[in-house]
Every structure is written in structure tokens, then in C-alpha cells.
């Protein structure tokens, strides 16, 4: 019950008016960012990182948590209302939600997405509240080789499962590992791959790489083949009466709960994040729908919006479990949040809950509060988000470039960082163009040095005996899990791609 008391203390912190304002700021920015095409939560947190150094850690973490959650809510608005095919992360919602909007039921689709996100987000946060302390207590007993094994699992699953092509994902991961090598070796103080440039002795800043890949790379790529003319947005009927009818509620509540049940566990394992969870939920809803309903799938079934959107948000909470208790990021956004923690000299891991209980529980409490705020923010304000969607694209991407340049410049107030940003942006452009996922690169860059550290310390303990890496049962289990997760993941990807090609073709 100590945890419960700690959570209540967390609520007491978050309910402080100043922190409520920070949380509101976070979810507001997060939703706006989620609505806008071209920028995601990973990039926004990376951008805000240098700009929030003047905030105290708790406030900054609350803002970042708000952005993280808000981004998930905002994304659904875009895929439901924007009349263009979206990226594969939101393809499942777009599949049914977009069809619903075209049939004049956009408001119902938005409402079931928002309420489902709220229900699943809250349930998943409850699960996080109970699971995280438990995992942290177990994790204290893990040794160096166990952590190294966990990181190898994360490398391989992230590299192989984020993106559509396994070799390209692994290439992206390897490039990230290389960027992680640049700088001064922590254990021996030797410079590696700095090319004699003094700015590189401290390593390449993760902010520059994340912003370069996500913001500059995206802007260049969109610029290279831009959809011209104003964005086509499907109009939504006004008034709360059109949100959800009795029948919609009846058809939605079970998918919400099932989505939460699928999303949270999938989020906790390194299996590609929320993407996989939404697809699993969609497949489940389709299978469970009765005979007469199944025909509606692919033509605007509300279950196909309710389930995946719930799963999406539940997975977002699930991702926080390995991040907070093991210090293991499994998505690009989680990797950036890890960097945010580190920039405040806080190291996520099994000892985080012991060393920084106030911060952790304030973060968890802010997730509960943020969920409520997002529900309020999203349902009545949808008209405003629609207007955000209408921003002319030339101004939007010019603004993204400007803020990207600002974020990199503000790191050290040195134009060299901005030049580095441009180079990384060019790499991000090429990678997008040829189907290389960029997220594994960010994860690899952050996780690489940590893994090297663990490996070298393991071998220092065993005095160079490699078999020490596989002596603990946990490590053996982890290596065995790689095979299972990979086979399962690749199989899921296949099914997902089949689904994207022909929604009606998957059974």
C-alpha cells in the first residue's frame, strides 16, 4: 500500500495549479502536434528539450508526458478527417474512421476514438501503477549480463520490426549505433570517430539527430513530392448530439476494453510499439464481429475505430513500463523521453522508484490528469483542431524547419550544431526516400553506448569470459525470446501489409 500512498502524494503534486497549467500546456501542444502532419511527439519533445532547461525536472517531465499522450489523441483526428492516405502507423484508424467520416459519421468516429482513448489510457495507467513497482523490484536483482541481453533484444526487435523491411531497419539501427560511438569513450577517455573536430569530442547530441531525422528529413521529403492545393478535410457535423448514438455506445465499449487489454501488454514488450497493438486489435475486432457486422469492416465499422484507438493509447502507457523500470526505450519517443530524463541527471532504471519516488509518481498522476484533460480538450474543441489541419503546407513545413534550426542552435548557441542538423536531415531525406525507417536509428544511438557499457562491465567482472553473458537464466530466456518475438513480429507484419493492400482480403 506504500505505492498507493506515493501515488496520492503524486496527485497532490500534480493538483498544484502551476503543475496543472504545465500539464495543460503539454497536452495542448501534444494534441496540436499530433494533429499536424509531419511532426510527431518524438520530435516535439526533442525540440522542447533545450528550451525547457530553465524548468525544474518535475514540471518538464509533466510537460513531456502531456505531449506524449496528447500526440496519440491528435493523431486519430488527422487520420479520420484528412482525405489523404496517412502513414502506416495510423492506417488502421484511417481504414474505418475515414470511411465513417465520408459517410457523414465523422463526429461519431472522433468521439469513439477520444472516449476510447480515455478509457483505455486510464485503464492502462492503472495497470502501469501496479505493474511498474513490481517490475522495478524484480529488476533490482538483474545483473550486468541480464541488462546486456535485454538491450540486444531491444536492438533486434526495434531494428527488425519498426518499418517494412528488415534489412533496412537493421541498417538504420547500425547507423544509429555508429553515431552513438562518436565522441569520447566513457571508460577509457579515448576519442573515437571525432575526425579531429573539437565539437564532436562530447559526442553528437541526440537532439540534433532526432530533430534532423524527424523534422528536417520530413520537410525535405515532403518538399520533394508535395501534394499541392489546399488539404482536403472532411467536414464534421456540429453539436454534441451527433457524437455517439446509443447503438454506437453499445458497439464501442467492448472494443475499448479489448483494445486496452491488447495494447498494454504489447506496449510493455519491445515488439514495435503501438503500431502492432492497433493492428492486433483491429484483427481481433474484425474476427469477433458478428456475421452482419463483418460486412461493415472496410466500409466504416465503428468497432474498427474504437478498438485500435484504445489499443494505441494503452500501448503508449505500456511503453513506459520498460522505460521507467529498466531504462529500456522501445520506441523513438520513449528514447527521447529517456534522453530528457538524463538531461536532468535522472537515470531511469530499477532504482528510479527508490531514488526519485516523488518524480515518478507525479508523472503517473499527471497521466491520469492528462487523460481527463485530453477528453475535455478533444471532444468540444474538434473544430479548432480542424482549423489547425488547414494550415497551408508551405507555412507549416517552413515553420518546422525554423523550429528545428532553433532547437539545435539553442543546444550550445553554436551554428556548427545547425550545420550538423542539415547533414542529418539530408540523411533522413535519403532514408525516407528509399524506405529506411528512421526510428531505429534514434533508438540505436541512445541504446548503443548503454549496451557497450553493460557489455564491457560484464566482461570486466568475468575477466573476459564470454560464457558469463549466458550464465544467468534470465539472459538465456531473453536470447530465446528474440527468436519468438522475431518470428511472431515478421508474421504480424506480413498480415498487416496484406491488410493495407486489401482491407477486405484479410480473414
- Footprint on residues 401-430 left by other proteins (CB under 8 A): 401-402, 405-406, 409-410, 413, 415, 418-419, 421-422, 425-426, 429-430
Q: Which residues of 292-328 are buried (b: 16+ CB within 10 A; e: fewer)?
A: ebbebbbebbbbbbbbbbbbbbbbbbbbbbbbbbbbb
Cβ distance to other proteins smaller for residue 43 or 177: 177
Residues 215 and 205: their CA atoms lie apart, in Å, by 15
Instruction: Kindly identify the residues of this chain, within the stretch 23-82, that bind other proteins according to CB under 8 A.
Output: 37-38, 51, 54, 78, 82
Q: CA dist 348 to 85, 198, 446, Å? A: 37, 30, 13
Q: What is the DSSP letter of 201?
A: T
498 binds other proteins (CB under 8 A): no
Provide, rounded to whole angstroms, the least separation between the CB of residue 482 and other proteins.
Answer: 16
| Of 126-134, 169-177, 312-320, 376-384: span binding other proteins (CB under 8 A) | 169-177
Q: Which of 204, 216, 262, 339 binds other proteins (CB under 8 A)?
A: 216
Cβ distance to other proteins smaller for residue 119 or 220: 220
86 binds other proteins (CB under 8 A): yes
Residues 210 and 438: their CA atoms lie apart, in Å, by 9
Cβ distance to other proteins smaller for residue 226 or 354: 226
Tell me, residue by residue from 382 to 401, as one string, x for binding to other proteins by CB under 8 A and - for no binding. ----------xxxx-xxx-x
Instruction: Kindly identify the residues of this chain, within the stretch 221-250, that bind other proteins according to CB under 8 A.
Output: 221-228, 231
Provide, rounded to whole angstroms, the least separation between the CB of residue 337 and other proteins.
Answer: 21
Cβ distance to other proteins smaller for residue 197 or 460: 460
- Sign of torsion, CA 319 410 447 431? positive
361 binds other proteins (CB under 8 A): no
Provide, rounded to whole angstroms, the least separation between the CB of residue 366 and other proteins.
Answer: 22
Residues 217 and 436: their CA atoms lie apart, in Å, by 12
Residue 82 phi/psi, 5° resolution?
Answer: -85, 130
- Residue 355 parent element (H or E): helix 352-355
505 binds other proteins (CB under 8 A): no
Residues 23 and 442: their CA atoms lie apart, in Å, by 26
Beta strands 191-192; 183-184: pairing state: antiparallel
Cβ distance to other proteins smaller for residue 87 or 247: 87
Instruction: Kindly identify the residues of this chain, within the stretch 457-476, that bind other proteins according to CB under 8 A.
Output: 459-460, 463-464
Cβ distance to other proteins smaller for residue 274 or 289: 274
Provide, rounded to whole angstroms, the least separation between the CB of residue 481 and other proteins.
Answer: 21
Q: Which of 8, 15, 56, 85 binds other proteins (CB under 8 A)?
A: 85
- Residue 180 parent element (H or E): helix 166-181
Q: Is 394 exposed, middle or buried (0-12, 13-18, 19+ CB in 10 A)?
A: exposed
Cβ distance to other proteins smaller for residue 245 or 494: 494
At residue 428's C-alpha, the angle toward residues 427 and 429, to 5°, is: 90
Residue 59 phi/psi, 5° resolution?
Answer: -60, -45
Cβ distance to other proteins smaller for residue 258 or 393: 393
Q: Which of 193, 240, 250, 480 binds other proteins (CB under 8 A)?
A: 193
Residues 224 and 430: their CA atoms lie apart, in Å, by 11
456 binds other proteins (CB under 8 A): yes
| Of 161-169, 316-324, 370-378, 469-477: span binding other proteins (CB under 8 A) | 161-169
Q: Which of 167, 235, 295, 380 binds other proteins (CB under 8 A)?
A: 167
165 binds other proteins (CB under 8 A): yes
- Count residues near other proteins (CB under 8 A): 79
219 binds other proteins (CB under 8 A): yes
Q: Of how many residues is the chain composed?
A: 507
> How far from each other are the two terminal CA atoms of the chain, in whole angstroms?
46
Amino acid at each position: 500500500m506504500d505505492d498507493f500512498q506515493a501515488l496520492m502524494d503524486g496527485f497532490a503534486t500534480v493538483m498544484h495549479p502551476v503543475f496543472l497549467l504545465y500539464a495543460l500546456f503539454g497536452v495542448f501542444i501534444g494534441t496540436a502536434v499530433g494533429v499536424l502532419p509531419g511532426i510527431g511527439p518524438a520530435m516535439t519533445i526533442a525540440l522542447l528539450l533545450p528550451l525547457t532547461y530553465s524548468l525544474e525536472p518535475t514540471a518538464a517531465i509533466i510537460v513531456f508526458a502531456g505531449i506524449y499522450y496528447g500526440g496519440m489523441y491528435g493523431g486519430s483526428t488527422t487520420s479520420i478527417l484528412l482525405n489523404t492516405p496517412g502513414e502506416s502507423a495510423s492506417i488502421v484508424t484511417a481504414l474505418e474512421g475515414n470511411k465513417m467520416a465520408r459517410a457523414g459519421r465523422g463526429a461519431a468516429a472522433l468521439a469513439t476514438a477520444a472516449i476510447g482513448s480515455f478509457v483505455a489510457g486510464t485503464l492502462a495507467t492503472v495497470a502501469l501503477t501496479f505493474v511498474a513497482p513490481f517490475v522495478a523490484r524484480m529488476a533490482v536483482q538483474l545483473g550486468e549480463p541480464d541488462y546486456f541481453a535485454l538491450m540486444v533484444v531491444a536492438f533486434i526487435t526495434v531494428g527488425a520490426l519498426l518499418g517494412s523491411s528488415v534489412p533496412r531497419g537493421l541498417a538504420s539501427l547500425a547507423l544509429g549505433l555508429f553515431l552513438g560511438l562518436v565522441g569520447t569513450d566513457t571508460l577509457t577517455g579515448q576519442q573515437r570517430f571525432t575526425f579531429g573536430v573539437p565539437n564532436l569530442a562530447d559526442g553528437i547530441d541526440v537532439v540534433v539527430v532526432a530533430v534532423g531525422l524527424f523534422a528536417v528529413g520530413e520537410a525535405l521529403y515532403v518538399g520533394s513530392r508535395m501534394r499541392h492545393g489546399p488539404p482536403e478535410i472532411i467536414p464534421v457535423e456540429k453539436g454534441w448530439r451527433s457524437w455517439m448514438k446509443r447503438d454506437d455506445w453499445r458497439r464501442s465499449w467492448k472494443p475499448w476494453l479489448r483494445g486496452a487489454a491488447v495494447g498494454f501488454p504489447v506496449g510493455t514488450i519491445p515488439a514495435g510499439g503501438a503500431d502492432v497493438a492497433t493492428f492486433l486489435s483491429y484483427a481481433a475486432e474484425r474476427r469477433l464481429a458478428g456475421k452482419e457486422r463483418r460486412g461493415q469492416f472496410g466500409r466504416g465499422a465503428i468497432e474498427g475505430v474504437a478498438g485500435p484507438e484504445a489499443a494505441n493509447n494503452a500501448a503508449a502507457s505500456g511503453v513506459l513500463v520498460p522505460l521507467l523500470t529498466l531504462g529500456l526505450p522501445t520506441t523513438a519517443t520513449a528514447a527521447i523521453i529517456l534522453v530528457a530524463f538524463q538531461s536532468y541527471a535522472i537515470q531511469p532504471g530499477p532504482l528510479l522508484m527508490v531514488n526519485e519516488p516523488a518524480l515518478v509518481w507525479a508523472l503517473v498522476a499527471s497521466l491520469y490528469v492528462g487523460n481527463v484533460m485530453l477528453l475535455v480538450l478533444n471532444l468540444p474543441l474538434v473544430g479548432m483542431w480542424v482549423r489547425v489541419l488547414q494550415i497551408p503546407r508551405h507555412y507549416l513545413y517552413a515553420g518546422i524547419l525554423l523550429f528545428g534550426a532553433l532547437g539545435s542552435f539553442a543546444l550550445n548557441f553554436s551554428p556548427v550544431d545547425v550545420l550538423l542538423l542539415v547533414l542529418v536531415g539530408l540523411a533522413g531525406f535519403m532514408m525516407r526516400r528509399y524506405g529506411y525507417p528512421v526510428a531505429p536509428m534514434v533508438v540505436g544511438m541512445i541504446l548503443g553506448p548503454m549496451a557497450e557499457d553493460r557489455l564491457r562491465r560484464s566482461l570486466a567482472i568475468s575477466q573476459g569470459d564470454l560464457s558469463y553473458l549466458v550464465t544467468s537464466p534470465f539472459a538465456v530466456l531473453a536470447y530465446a525470446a528474440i527468436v519468438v518475438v522475431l518470428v511472431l513480429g515478421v508474421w504480424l507484419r506480413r498480415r498487416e501489409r496484406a491488410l493495407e493492400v486489401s482491407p477486405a482480403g484479410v480473414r
